[in-house]
C-alpha cells in the first residue's frame, strides 16, 4: 500500500472531527509556546545563578586604627591558617573611598573624613565552603556567639545569605515552570489521545470490516498515527512561527537597549525550533499510540 493512502485517510479523519482536532492542535501550540519560553528562561536563570555563586565573598573589615603590622598579620592568617581560600583581595581604605565616591560623589562630598575601613575580600574555592572560612575567622564560643579570631578585625560579613536567597528564588521559578510544563504536556497527550479515540469511534464499522478481512493492526494504525503526528506537527509549526515573530518583534529590539536581555547565553533559535518540533511529534505520537493500543486490544 502506498504511503499516500495513509496520509489521505489521516487528512480525511481530521476533516471529520474538526473540533477535537483543533483542541488537540491548540493544546500542543500552548504547550510548545510555554516550552519555547521556558527553555531559554531556565538557561538564563541557571547562568545567572552560577554567576551569583561565583561572586560569593566574605568581607573582613579591619579596625579603623589598624596598623600595617595588624594588616600583615591578618593577611598571613587568611593565607596560611584559613581553609578553602581561593583568593584574597586587599582593599585599602583609600581605595574603597575612591571607588565609593566615584559611584556616589554627592554623598561623599558631605563627609569630612574617610569612614571606610581597610578590607580583605575573601573568595572561597567553592561557594559552599564559605561557612568554613567564616568559622575560622569568627569561630563560635561556648555560648554560641561569634568571636573574632584577631583583635584588629572589626567584623566579618558573610555574603552567602543574600546569595542563598537569590538562588532559592531561581530554584522556585524553575520548579514552577517544570510543573506547569509537565501538566501541559500531559494535557496535550490526553487531548491527542482523545482525538484519535473519537476518530476510531467514528470509523469503528470500517475498522471492524478491515479486521474481518485480515487487515493487520499496523495497517489500521498508520492513518491514525499520521493523524496524531500531523496535528502535533501543525501545532509545533504554529508555535515556532509565533516564537519567531516574538523574537523579531520584541526580544531583538529590546536586546539592543537592555543588557539584561542580551547578556544571557541560550541555545540558538534554530536549535530551539528543531527541539520543539521534535517534541511536538513525540508527544502527539505518544498520545496516538496510547489510544490505539487500548482500542485494538478490545
Q: Which residue in 118, 131, 141, 17 sits closest to 62, CA to CA?
A: 118
Three-class DSSP category at 51: helix
Helices (H) and strands (E) in the chain, counts: 12, 4
- Same domain? For 124 and 8 the reply is no
Mean pLDDT of 219-248: 80
Distance of CA 172 to the CA centre of its chain: 10
pLDDT value for 298: 44
Mean pLDDT of 41-48: 73
- Same domain? For 37 and 105 the reply is no
- Same domain? For 41 and 149 the reply is no
pLDDT at position 85 over 50: yes
- Same domain? For 255 and 288 the reply is yes
Unique residue bearing C-alpha cell 481530521: 14
Neighbouring-strand partners of residue 119: 61, 91
- Same domain? For 145 and 199 the reply is no
- For 145, the domain range is 57-158
Using a 10 angstrom Cβ sphere, with 0-12 exposed, 13-18 middle and 19 or more buried, the burial of residue 53 is: middle
- Same domain? For 75 and 187 the reply is no
Confidence of residue 101 (pLDDT cuts 50, 70, 90): confident
Q: Which residue in 91, 72, 68, 92 sits closest to 80, CA to CA?
A: 72
Q: Which residue in 58, 63, 94, 93 sits closest to 78, CA to CA?
A: 58
Q: String of b and e for 26-45 (b: at least 16 CB within 10 Å)?
A: ebbbebbbbbbebbbebebb
- Same domain? For 209 and 132 the reply is no
Tell me the CATH number at 121. Answer: 3.30.70.3040
Least confident span in 100-104, 115-119, 276-280 = 100-104
How many structural domains does the chain have? 2
pTM of the model: 0.58
pLDDT value for 53: 66
- Same domain? For 186 and 246 the reply is yes
Mean pLDDT of 240-259: 75
> Which of residues 112, 127, 158 is at a domain's end?
158
- Same domain? For 138 and 201 the reply is no
pLDDT at position 187 over 60: yes
Q: Considering the chain, what is the average pLDDT of its residues? A: 76
Q: In angstroms, rounded to a whole number, what is the distance separating the alpha carbons of residues 150 and 62?
A: 10
pLDDT at position 259 over 60: no
pLDDT value for 166: 66
- Same domain? For 48 and 78 the reply is no
> Which of residues 123, 158, 193 is at a domain's end?
158
pLDDT value for 30: 82
pLDDT value for 190: 75
pLDDT at position 6 over 60: no
> With left for phi above 0 and alpha for psi between -120 and 50, is residue 55 left, alpha or beta?
alpha
- Same domain? For 205 and 285 the reply is yes
- Same domain? For 285 and 172 the reply is yes
Give the count of alpha carbons within 13 A of 160, CB side only: 15
pLDDT value for 293: 62
Mean pLDDT of 236-242: 89
> Which of residues 158, 191, 213 is at a domain's end?
158
What proportion of the chain, given as a percentage, has pLDDT over 70? 68
Q: Which helix (H) or strand (E) holds 91?
A: strand 85-91
The tens digit of pLDDT for each residue in 108-129 reads 666 667 778 889 988 888 877 8
Report the range out of 29-43, 76-90, 136-150 with the highest average pLDDT: 76-90
pLDDT value for 209: 63
The tens digit of pLDDT for each residue in 48-71 reads 666 666 667 888 889 888 888 988
pLDDT value for 118: 87
Amino acid at each position: 500500500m502506498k504511503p499516500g493512502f495513509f496520509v489521505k485517510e489521516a487528512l480525511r479523519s481530521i476533516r471529520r472531527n474538526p473540533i477535537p482536532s483543533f483542541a488537540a492542535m491548540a493544546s500542543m501550540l500552548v504547550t510548545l509556546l510555554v516550552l519555547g519560553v521556558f527553555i531559554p528562561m531556565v538557561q538564563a536563570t541557571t547562568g545567572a545563578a552560577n554567576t551569583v555563586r561565583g561572586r560569593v565573598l566574605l568581607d573582613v573589615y579591619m579596625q579603623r586604627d589598624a596598623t600595617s603590622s595588624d594588616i600583615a598579620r591578618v593577611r598571613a592568617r587568611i593565607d596560611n591558617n584559613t581553609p578553602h581560600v581561593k583568593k584574597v583581595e586587599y582593599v585599602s581604605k583609600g581605595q574603597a573611598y575612591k571607588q565609593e565616591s566615584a559611584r556616589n560623589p554627592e554623598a561623599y562630598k558631605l563627609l569630612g573624613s574617610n569612614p571606610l575601613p581597610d578590607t580583605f575580600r575573601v573568595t572561597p574555592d567553592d561557594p559552599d565552603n564559605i561557612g568554613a572560612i567564616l568559622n575560622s575567622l569568627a569561630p563560635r564560643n561556648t555560648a554560641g556567639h561569634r568571636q573574632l579570631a584577631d583583635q584588629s578585625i572589626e567584623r566579618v560579613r558573610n555574603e552567602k545569605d543574600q546569595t542563598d536567597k537569590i538562588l532559592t528564588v531561581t530554584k522556585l521559578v524553575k520548579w514552577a515552570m517544570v510543573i506547569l510544563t509537565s501538566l501541559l504536556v500531559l494535557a496535550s497527550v490526553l487531548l491527542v489521545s482523545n482525538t484519535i479515540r473519537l476518530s476510531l469511534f467514528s470509523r469503528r464499522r470500517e475498522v471492524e470490516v478491515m479486521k474481518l478481512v485480515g487487515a493487520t493492526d499496523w495497517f489500521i494504525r498508520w492513518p491514525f498515527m499520521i493523524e496524531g503526528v500531523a496535528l502535533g506537527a501543525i501545532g509545533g509549526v504554529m508555535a515556532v512561527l509565533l516564537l519567531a515573530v516574538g523574537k523579531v518583534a520584541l526580544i531583538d529590539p529590546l536586546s539592543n537597549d537592555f543588557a539584561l536581555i542580551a547578556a544571557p547565553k541560550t541555545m540558538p533559535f534554530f536549535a530551539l525550533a528543531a527541539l520543539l518540533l521534535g517534541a511536538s511529534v513525540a508527544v502527539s505520537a505518544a498520545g496516538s499510540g496510547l489510544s490505539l493500543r487500548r482500542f485494538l486490544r478490545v
